[in-house]
Amino acid sequence: MNSLERGDVQLSKTIGCAADLAINGAPPAFAEPLHVGRPNIGSREKFLKLAGEMFDRRWLSNNGPLLMQFEQRVADYTGVKHCIAMCNGTIALEIAIRALGMTGEVIVPSYTFIATAQALAWQGITPVFADIDPVTHNLDPEAVRRMITPRTSGIIGVHLWGRAAPVEALQAVADEHGLQLLFDAAHAFGCSHRGKMIGSFGRAEVLSFHATKFFNTFEGGAVLTDDDDLAETMRLMRNFGFSGLDNVIHPGTNGKMVEICAAMGLANFDYIDTVIDANRRNYIAYQHALTGLPGMRLIPFDDGEKNNYQYVILEIDNDCPVSRDQLVAALHAENVLARKYFWPGCHRMKPFRELYPNAGLMLPHTETVSDRVIVLPTGTTLAEADLRTIAAVIRCLAVVA
């Protein structure tokens, strides 16, 4: 059952049976740790050229020419009227939440990166967790409906793994109850829904350009919206409320993206298709290498949509011979730092667990899904031979166990 082809690629070891695994005493498959979400880095030449021009101009922040170019590129790429770039995705979420006038309670999934909930809690808004659809991993609109109270002011949907949240159904719930609808699109840059690029759904959508995301500006984020007034408000909020040199006309904070980050974004723009191609190739290779294993499967992407394939999500069922945690432990022993995103769910993290000790009663699918997901390494730096080694470890455990 050895599924490795050595070719001319030097592998540290060949994995054919349980005795070859590091958990059973063999040396690890990789000398260096293999991370999920290693940064994708575009043209260094372009970045260094833009950085040089920036130094010559001595314009490092405050709505510089690189920032304006970058915002225009994001707006063109997503087909959204306004892109307001920010220092990171979490501040972008906080500013969007405030600009939409959210207060009291806001309904969010618990199965998301903690920033979605923290961005609310940080400004004194109570995140109320609604359950997900166990198939799509996205918010279940009926579960959202059940969590609405007189204090609810909005909903934040998350396009988890880059697969669109149920946009139309959530919009219907929001309209019916007079709620603001915002999307956390941190995973979904470059993805589409019903043929339309993600970015213009709800009243606004928030992107993250963190180093580990599909597309990065070192750190960074943006709010996208087609609403002129909302865009203007968020531009003011991002820059202390300044309108002109000495005139503050709005409450505000400092959410500005600096020029060097915009330069990174511009350098990475030309690289987007390369990253998507590499991610897609990796995804398909994993699919081939892992077919037919009992009780585990990769979550699918709709080929009719644009996807960035940034998250390779393996789901481990109860009838799989090996448990999710055993698999993760075995991969870590090989130096493959596969992740359990977003285990255990926001509601089971300390700040929210203390707030709502019984939230799990309303979140059965969140708990089940977060107990069975493994995120595998992908990206432009993952060599094909390394991918096959990772798959061989999983195969070995699933078959032998």
Ligand X SMILES: *Cc1c(COP(=O)(O)O)cnc(C)c1O
Residues that bind ligand X (CB under 6 A): 88-90, 112-113, 115-116, 158, 184, 186-187, 208, 210, 221
Q: Of 187 and 395, which has the nearer Cβ to ligand X?
A: 187
User: Nearest approach, Cβ of 113 to ligand X (angstroms)?
Assistant: 4
User: Nearest approach, Cβ of 216 to ligand X (angstroms)?
Assistant: 9
User: Nearest approach, Cβ of 9 to ligand X (angstroms)?
Assistant: 33
User: Nearest approach, Cβ of 321 to ligand X (angstroms)?
Assistant: 31
Contact 338, 400 (CB under 8 A): no
Q: Of 30 and 129, which has the nearer Cβ to ligand X?
A: 129
Q: 3-class DSSP state for residue 292? A: coil
> 342 preceded by cis ω (within 30°)?
yes
Which residues fall within 8 angstroms of residue 370, CB to CB, at 6 or more apart?
111, 340, 342, 343, 344, 345
Q: Of 30 and 161, which has the nearer Cβ to ligand X?
A: 161
User: Nearest approach, Cβ of 185 to ligand X (angstroms)?
Assistant: 8
Closest residue by Cα to residue 326 from 24, 29, 32: 24
- Residue, CB closest to ligand X: 89
The amino acid occupying position 15 is I
Q: Of 137 and 324, which has the nearer Cβ to ligand X?
A: 137
Contact 127, 151 (CB under 8 A): no
Per the listing, tokens 């037919």 go with 292
Q: Of 22 and 84, which has the nearer Cβ to ligand X?
A: 84
Q: Of 257 and 394, which has the nearer Cβ to ligand X?
A: 257
Closest residue by Cα to residue 108 from 91, 92, 132: 132
* Distance between CA atoms of residues 347 and 360, nearest Å: 7
* Distance between CA atoms of residues 310 and 306, nearest Å: 12
Contact 22, 331 (CB under 8 A): no
DSSP state of 223: E
User: Nearest approach, Cβ of 112 to ligand X (angstroms)?
Assistant: 5
Q: Of 113 and 301, which has the nearer Cβ to ligand X?
A: 113
The pair of three-digit structure tokens given for residue 205, joined into one six-digit string:
């959508």
User: Nearest approach, Cβ of 116 to ligand X (angstroms)?
Assistant: 5
